[in-house]
Amino acid sequence: MTVHLVLIDALNLIRRIYAVQERPFLLNNELAENTKQQVLFNTAKACEQALQKILDQLQPTHALAVFDSQAPCWRYDIFPDYKKGRKKMPEHLADKLPDIQDRFMKNFVDSLVSEADEADDLIATLAIKVALRGQNVTIVSTDKCFLSLLNPNIKVYDYFNRRYLDEEYVVNKFSVKPDKLMDLWTLTGDNTNKIPGVAGIGQVTASKLLNQYGSIKSILSATDLKSSISEKLSLHDEQIALSRKLLTLKIDIPLGFNLKDIRLPNENELASS
């Protein structure tokens, strides 16, 4: 059987949908108590509709919605400023997640909620495991971290803009191929997650260096670097190691289930149920 697994970055989808539903009701950037339930109902309904569209558009054989752990992940242990300043999920939306998960389950899509890991790491682990078996995976997310996983068996789909974020997209946006993205962000930092890079090295310089030398390791061992670049790198050797560790997606998380557990019913099975 040919497998096409769709992995939904659930909070990426839900929070963006919630923001759209909330916006018309905001007053002074606040949501009145008497409108919260309406916004939450609209959000849950829109999330279910989005899931149905994703299934219709992508036609997977297997699907899973992956959620972040409620507890801080391991990255906070080694870098307390990870994601510092990022707006937290509203409590009333967090309380609504079980209802949204139930709606997903009505459409035969189970939810995976880790006790300790980020959805990014869980998705990466699943995607790599399936791809290594020669099967196909589509990650539904607008999170750029997944672009580093792109290969012939792993695609990234932006539901909101109805497009695949492919190698051409990566090269146009970042000036490097997907396999160099982690090195690129190690040098430039990742402002979205408040991961610092090498001060004074932006995307233009970083992409030129990576396209010339191939990797950070080769850059660091090069003997023909400009003195200004060499000095900046030498001053940030510990930062480079830390940033690389923070940015690297885990691909070895024990999952405790297999593909048959998340297989979607086919038309014959639905008709006879």
Is position 196 annotated in a ligand binding site? yes
Locate 103 and state its tokens.
Answer: 């709606």
Q: What is the DSSP letter of 191?
A: G
Distance CA 59, CA 133 (A): 20
- Half-sphere exposure of residue 156: CA atoms within 13 angstroms, side-chain side: 22
Report the alpha-carbon angle 204-211-207, nearest 5. Answer: 20
Calpha distance 216→201 (Å, rounded): 13
Contacts of 109 (CB under 8 A, 6+ apart): 8, 51, 55, 63, 64, 65, 262, 264
Contacts of 259 (CB under 8 A, 6+ apart): 3, 5, 62, 130
Contacts of 272 (CB under 8 A, 6+ apart): none
Binding residues: 120, 187, 196, 198, 201
Binding residues for K(+): 187, 196, 198, 201
Binding residues for Mg(2+): 120
